[in-house]
Amino acid sequence: MILGKNGDNHDEKQQHEQQFFEVGKVDEVPVGKMRYVEVQGMEIVVSNIGGNLYAMDDRCGHMNARLSMGNISNDGIVTCPFRSKIRCYYRKESK
């Protein structure tokens, strides 16, 4: 499994976003599950939704909780593990 996309930019943060990083094997993230990975100091959660892999920041913007410790629904909604206190939802974008 490789994270990243092609591009050419000199901004350091965008350079991280533009590179590919091997983070594991595709079968290590079963359908409907999430996996925490760290890439050059960045905390990432990889989600398998219907056989497609998605990656995003692993931290909730409200509570700074690790989203990889939360839940994922069949339609791609990731719920923060602190959902009983604050409901944070993260949905994959439509293609």
Print pLDDT tens along the chain (95 aa): 545 544 444 455 555 556 788 888 989 999 999 999 999 899 999 988 888 888 889 998 878 889 999 988 877 788 888 875 444 555 555 44
Q: What is the end-to-end Cα distance of the chain in Å, rounded?
A: 20
Tokens representing 41? 């100091």
Q: Which domain holds residue 74?
A: 2-91
What CA–CA distance (Å, rounded) separates 32 from 21?
22
Return the CATH number at 36: 2.102.10.10
pLDDT computed for residue 27 by the predictor: 92
Residue 7: its pLDDT value, please?
41
pLDDT of the residue at 35? 94
Q: Which two tokens stand for residue 47?
A: 């989600």
**Model pTM above 0.85:** no
Q: How many domains does the chain have?
A: 1
SS3 per residue for 38-92: EECCEEEEEEEECCEEEEEECECCCCCCEHHHCEECCCCEEECCCCCCCCCEEEC
Identify the pLDDT of residue 62: 77
